[in-house]
Amino acid sequence: MFNYKKLGILMLVAIFVATFALAAYSQKKYEDVTVTVVTESGYQRNSAVMAKNAWEEEYEGEIEIVTFPFGELYQKIMTTFTMGQAQFDVLIFPSGWMGDFAGGGYLEPLDKYLAEDEDFNMNEVMPIFRDRIIKWAGKTYSLPYDGDLHNIVVRTDLIDNPEYKEQFREEYGYELDVPETWKEYRDIAEFADGWDWDGDGEEEHGAAEAMQKGTQSYWMFLSRAAPYMAMPGQPGFMFDPETMEPLVNKPGFVEALKAYKEIQNHGLPGALNVNVSDVRDAFAAGEAALAIDWGDTAINASTLEGSEVQGKYQAAMTPGTKKVWNRKTGEWYEFEKFPSVNHAPFLAFGGWTAGITKHASNKEAAYSYISLLTGPEHSLKAVTTAETGRQPYRQSHFASVDEWTRFGFTDPDKEYLNAVQRSLSYPNSRPDLRIPGLQRYYDALDAQITRALTGELSPRKALDNVANRWEQITDDLGRERQLELYRQSLGLSPKEE
């Protein structure tokens, strides 16, 4: 006769053992473990230290943080990889290096760890990070850490002023409002430039934009170029994913560079010497009607003590265009119906991510650190702390309005959150370039943009030079391999022979 009583006892024992095992896993300690983390010596160190303190208290292990200046970080990491050294367990690195790190086989896939991590909640990570930025060839190789992308900010005490609205309508023939297109952005900059429209006794300027060589200004240009080149449904906009031909000298890029050069006339004095820090300072000081930047300009405008524009500005998605270059037909596509404006929010830089090296000494401990670092609770504290430089990337970050109010925002949704969330969610948003040789490509772009901005070369000639140099770099690195990695970065399948 079957012993049901014995079966019941065995089932209870099994449940107890499983429960105990789950509890033990969730409470696992790493008393004798040291996890070595490498990152940049500025903002990223601050955030890593915040997580270090929390991790050491919870797991009773040790986190050792090694930092280098940004300009040295890539080479220091790659040297350990190419020499086969197991010097670092965790990398906090720009997502643009994913092609070198994941494509080179130096990172540990994280999917099996995520499958067992009930606290991380990947479902609430914004899809463009969850499905694109942290993946490579279908596998997850890092965790999202920073929601970088460009937005604009515009002074509402200008665009909401009834008198100025009337003046603008008479001069430009349409309503003064948050700019939807780069042409409208240019018109507002021209309208606001050179007079005291905010009553502070000083002349204001139109648009604050970084243009100084060697200071990340090429990303400002690329945000302007994206909607001219990013045809909906066509992946990528810097290279042709079928041939690896550079697209940087196509008509869309040329139009964007002409506009970028022209905005100097309505910008801060000495526009060619303006860097991103100058932009943030100028906007917070009330010196400009518009600015384009990562989230830092909006954050500074609301949270810096002494800001002159608290409660006087609105953030918005970067402007779009009424036409886009269709690389397949070789013609302009004019938007006459919905969406009428082609927006292509550009994830300039793409944010920082956190990954585990292939040869990490204790991968479980390393994963527990990056899970805490990028998980819901800690990351909310980090993105609402000025010293970290991190931007939101989870749905809970956008929903936690009270935390942003505590941070210093008057109206967090209007001044920051809505613009970022809309941009990250936009169907035609575009990730940054993520292939080997990234900085070589961008250094070439930076040099030629400057020659166009100074008038030394025409925009077309400057971009022809960029295209030629990009072809050389691609050949130096191996065209077939670059094409393969570029397609992987776009989530495309391998090209058929």
Q: Tens of pLDDT along 458-467?
A: 999 999 999 9
Which of these ranges, 110-114, 287-291, 295-299, 386-390, has the smallest mean pLDDT? 386-390
- For residue 335, what pLDDT is reported? 84
The answer on pLDDT for 86 being more than 90 is no
Task: Label the pairing between strands 90-94 and 62-68.
Answer: unpaired
Residues 208-259 have pLDDT tens digits of 999 999 998 999 999 999 999 999 999 999 999 999 999 999 999 999 999 9
Residue 210 DSSP label: -
- For residue 338, what pLDDT is reported? 65
For the chain, give the percent of residues with pLDDT over 70.
Answer: 94
- For residue 5, what pLDDT is reported? 42
The answer on pLDDT for 14 being more than 80 is no
For the chain, give the percent of residues with pLDDT over 90.
Answer: 90
Residue 238 DSSP label: S
| Best CA proximity match to 169, nearest among 177, 178, 179, 157 | 177
| Single-letter amino acid code for the residue at 104 | G
Task: Label the pairing between strands 143-144 and 34-40.
Answer: unpaired
The answer on pLDDT for 42 being more than 90 is no
- For residue 27, what pLDDT is reported? 58
Which of these ranges, 78-87, 100-109, 393-402, has the smallest mean pLDDT? 78-87
The 3-state DSSP class for residue 242 equals coil
- Angstrom distance (rounded) from CA 303 to CA 379: 19
The answer on pLDDT for 154 being more than 70 is yes
Burial of 415 (0-12, 13-18, 19+ CB in 10 A): buried
Residue 20: pLDDT band with limits 50, 70, 90: very low
Q: Which domains does the chain have, with CATH numbers?
A: 30-147+351-417 (3.40.190.10), 151-344 (3.40.190.10)
- Angstrom distance (rounded) from CA 55 to CA 131: 27
* Mean pLDDT value of segment 432-455: 97
Mean pLDDT taken over the chain: 93
**The model's pTM:** 0.92
The 3-state DSSP class for residue 432 equals coil
The answer on pLDDT for 411 being more than 70 is yes
| Peptide linkage before 339 cis (omega within 30 of 0) | yes
